[in-house]
Structure 1
Amino acid sequence: MRSVNGDWRMYGLAALLLAMPLQAVADESVEALRAELERLKARIEQLERERANPVREVDLGSAVSGTERVPQDSEATEPVEPDVHVGGALRFNMVHRDFSETSKGKRGESGLDVFRLNVDGEIDNILVSAEYRFYSYMHTLHHGWIGYQFNDDSQLQFGVHRVPFGLQPYPAHNAWFGVPYYVGLGDDYDMGIKYQREDGPWQWQVAFYKNEELNDATSPERYSFDLVRNGDQQNEEINQWNGRGAYTFGLGTACETEVGGSLQAGEVYNATTDRRGDHWAAAAHLDSRCGRWHFQVSGIRYDYNPINPEGVSSDSVQVGAFAGTYDIASNADILVTNVAYNLPSPWKRIDSIICYNDYSQLFKDETGARDSRINTLGCAFGMGPLFTYVDYIFANNMAYFGDGSLAGTGAGDDDWHSRFNVNIGFYW
């Protein structure tokens, strides 16, 4: 018979033998857990590196044909929302014209000026800008282009956009503009490609335009003035180059003065003779904003040399816009002198008051031809979304004023005529 102590020793040995495999299992679990923790730690470090540097290699073989390529095992990212603004304007005119018996008899007229819609947007570095206009007598594209914004803030535009020539963006302060606009050398839009950049105070623009904006020189239903084909006049603008450079003195100060020059050269295609003539224009311009004052001065020279059929004079060429046409002198000089003052508003609800006097004159080359002049005295008032022009326009031998003519012939009107114009617009 065994003793009690011996029995306990037997039981202890058995317990030790049973515990040994359990301890081995526990040790193995600890090692497995430790390995799992090391693996998770390495994964966390990898994720931190990817977060700091999001560029990943793309397996081109896994890309879906015709779609954006997506790397294998990459996490889906939210698409970039385009920054697009839809705006527009609705404008009305109230007019009194001293050269119209109907206008004088009714003591003035009123009506729709324009209803327009604008779209401007950007996604990544891709730009888009477009505007369509509706008038009571026509509707037309004002501009429409797609562009790219480079990292150095330079820009490329393709489509129908503003031609870089002369005073920019507008060679006047008033709603009616002046001579440069009515001969196609101010706020003009054509179809082509343009590159522009700014280097501190320097601004550069270079462009090529294949043709006018509609690619239909027979239609005068357009916003900006171009050569149009009508009757004996069968000329149109093609293959035009533009360059504009300017330097701003006092950039970033309360008195900035931009001094620059512009060049334009292209061909004039005549549909009757199937031959190409040429045209060119050059401008020097100064645009100064000092305190509340704004001064604009510009001198322009232009020449059209079409190859017309026999019997058709080359002293004049025909331009068109706003559903109408008229002749202008083929060779002439233009002078622009504008001044404006931004008055402090005495009324809380009126945001801005700008008063101005804009003058421009067309000096025709042809001996005996009457020059054309237009002067506009007025003020523009800004009040929230409302913007109103109040203009008194005084013109001599100017298109749209009596029998005024911009042509180089002896025809025209020696009398001065006036137009009192109030243009009220709501913008959004």
Structure 2
Amino acid sequence: MNLQHTRLNSIFATLLAIGLALPASAVEITDNLDLGGAIRGRLDYDPDRDLSKFSFDTFFLTADYHSDTWIAAAKYRFYGDAYPFDYTDKVGDISFAEYAWVGYKFSPEQQLQVGQTPIPFGLLPYFGSTFFESLGNVIGLEDTQNIGFKYLQQSGDWDLQAAYYPIPAEQGEGTSRGGRTYGTNVATADDYVVDGSDNHEQDIFVGRLARQFEAGGWKSEIGLSGLASTLENQDTDRDGHRYTAALHFSGKHGAWGVQAQAARQQMTPKNPGDDRLVTFGSFDGTFNVAAKGNLYLADLSYDIAGQYGWLSGIKLYANYSLFDKDESAFQDSQRFIAGSSFSFGPLWIALEWLHGKNDPYIGGSSYTQSLGAGGSDRWENQLYSNIGYYF
């Protein structure tokens, strides 16, 4: 084992030992305030790229406040000194807030949140059952956060969420010009991105209306979402726009779960160069995304009840997502994930087979161009696991 692997495993073992010394639940500071977090490791195996690594993934801290009227939540993540961030010197060289907001409850059914919050779009909280998430994440629709105001109202079977974000998520620590965030957002391209752009997204309006219902033994939800924003190009001083709409469905029948979504994203940037591409960024990197296309996804899951020794909470799932680009010269992007998540004693584990085509995060396809013009245009494979101790 080389020095780098020894150092990474030493970091992970030390942090895991600290985590195991803590109680396996959030720490209640007062009747209203809870503090928590997690320490996680990751396994990446791809023989085609001679990739076989078990290393530190992330350490994060959370805070939750709740009373009859006031609520608040925050989560901050730390990365670095391990794959894929082994170009940094220490944990914390890459770090950013996932969310940080304060809210007021007008009633048990109505509340207003102010700060950096997850956008209310499509299937919530994620576009499926997977840990690695779908292509919706890397085109800026799934598990994405911005700064502004979000209103939530539950009225019988109806759920309404509406938000206005003047600005995107706050940039954290890292080496990227515009990708120092957890969620994927429109970004300033790094120098290594060919045909990269410098757009700033602002005045982001997001709305989601969903209705729960029961039919044939299924507990289901169907909903509509929309997003509209301004793309201010820093090179041309001209404003473009981003419009996105989605229809989603989710259902649960006993152990079986089904989710599906179709979304349309259309961006009209005013770039000095290619208007068919918009640069996005997250996790200390930036890459191009096709300006116009449709996102389709489907997710099937099955829960295995009971406890089997140290094993419990077992879920099996499969998720497929397709980013169908308008531009005929661009290669479509696809992602298929089959896997399982479960608890093993004090640990929570996700084990997934990743199968992607023109996917920036799977295999050896182009990181900067796969979601734009395309990458290797062949199916790439990788085994991925995330192992976490949550406290």
Q: Calculate the TM-score normalised by the size of structure 1.
A: 0.76
Among residues 415, 419, 424, which one is paired with 2:378 in the alignment? 415
CA distance in structure 1 between the aligned counterparts of 2:377 and 2:235, rounded to whole angstroms: 34
**Per-residue deviation, residues 405-428 of structure 1 (Å, max 9, x unmatched):** 44442x421221111012111111
Among residues 69, 84, 87, which one is paired with 2:33 in the alignment? 84
Q: How far did residue 113 of structure 1 move?
A: 1.2
Q: Which residue of 1 aligns with 2:347?
A: 386
Larger RCO (CA under 8 A, 6+ residues apart): 2
Q: Which residue of 2 aligns with 1:49?
A: none
Could you tell me whether the CA contact under 8 Å between 1:98 and 1:417 is conserved in 2?
no
C-alpha RMSD of the superposition: 1.9
| Secondary structure of 1:174's aligned partner | coil
Among residues 182, 191, 196, which one is paired with 1:223 in the alignment? 182
Which ranges of structure 2 fall in alignment gaps of 5 or more residues? 1-29, 86-93
Residue 44 of structure 2 corresponds to residue 95 of structure 1: yes
Among residues 224, 236, 250, which one is paired with 1:287 in the alignment? 250
Residue 187 of structure 2 corresponds to residue 187 of structure 1: no
Q: Which residue of 1 aligns with 2:278?
A: 317
Residue 77 of structure 2 corresponds to residue 121 of structure 1: no
Which segment is superposed worse, 337-346 or 416-425? 337-346
Residues 97, 339 of structure 1: alpha-carbon distance in 2 compared, 3 angstrom cutoff: same
Q: Which residue of 1 aligns with 2:166?
A: 210
Could you tell me whether the CA contact under 8 Å between 1:343 and 1:352 is conserved in 2?
yes
> What is the number of equivalent residue pairs in this alignment?
339
Q: How far did residue 270 of structure 1 move?
A: 0.7
Residues 100, 157 of structure 1: alpha-carbon distance in 2 compared, 3 angstrom cutoff: same
Larger radius of gyration: 1
Q: How far did residue 124 of structure 1 move?
A: 4.1
| Secondary structure of 2:356's aligned partner | strand
| Secondary structure of 1:229's aligned partner | coil
Counterpart mapping for 1:245-264 below 5 A: 245-250=209-214, 255-264=218-227
Which ranges of structure 1 fall in alignment gaps of 5 or more residues? 1-80
CA distance in structure 2 between the aligned counterparts of 1:317 and 1:280, rounded to whole angstroms: 13
Among residues 54, 67, 71, which one is paired with 1:110 in the alignment? 54
CA distance in structure 2 between the aligned counterparts of 1:304 and 1:202, rounded to whole angstroms: 30
CA distance in structure 1 between the aligned counterparts of 2:43 and 2:158, rounded to whole angstroms: 41
Q: How far did residue 234 of structure 1 move?
A: 1.1
CA distance in structure 2 between the aligned counterparts of 1:196 and 1:360, rounded to whole angstroms: 28
Among residues 241, 247, 252, which one is paired with 2:205 in the alignment? 241
Q: How far did residue 400 of structure 1 move?
A: 2.0
Could you tell me whether the CA contact under 8 Å between 1:206 and 1:243 is conserved in 2?
yes
CA distance in structure 1 between the aligned counterparts of 2:346 and 2:279, rounded to whole angstroms: 38
Among residues 82, 100, 103, which one is paired with 1:144 in the alignment? 100
Amino acid at match of 1:188: T
Among residues 359, 380, 383, which one is paired with 2:320 in the alignment? 359
Q: How far did residue 200 of structure 1 move?
A: 1.2
Could you tell me whether the CA contact under 8 Å between 2:109 and 2:155 is conserved in 1?
no
**Per-residue deviation, residues 49-88 of structure 1 (Å, max 9, x unmatched):** xxxxxxxxxxxxxxxxxxxxxxxxxxxxxxxx65100011
Could you tell me whether the CA contact under 8 Å between 1:88 and 1:118 is conserved in 2?
yes
**Per-residue deviation, residues 84-134 of structure 1 (Å, max 9, x unmatched):** 000111110011024413x1xxxx111111111000012441111000001
| Secondary structure of 1:248's aligned partner | strand
Amino acid at match of 2:199: N
Q: Which residue of 1 aligns with 2:299?
A: 338
Q: Which residue of 2 aligns with 1:171?
A: 127
Q: Which residue of 1 aligns with 2:5?
A: none
Could you tell me whether the CA contact under 8 Å between 1:361 and 1:373 is conserved in 2?
yes
Could you tell me whether the CA contact under 8 Å between 1:82 and 1:121 is conserved in 2?
no
Which segment is superposed worse, 147-156 or 212-221? 212-221
Q: Calculate the TM-score normalised by the size of structure 2.
A: 0.83
Among residues 175, 191, 197, which one is paired with 2:153 in the alignment? 197
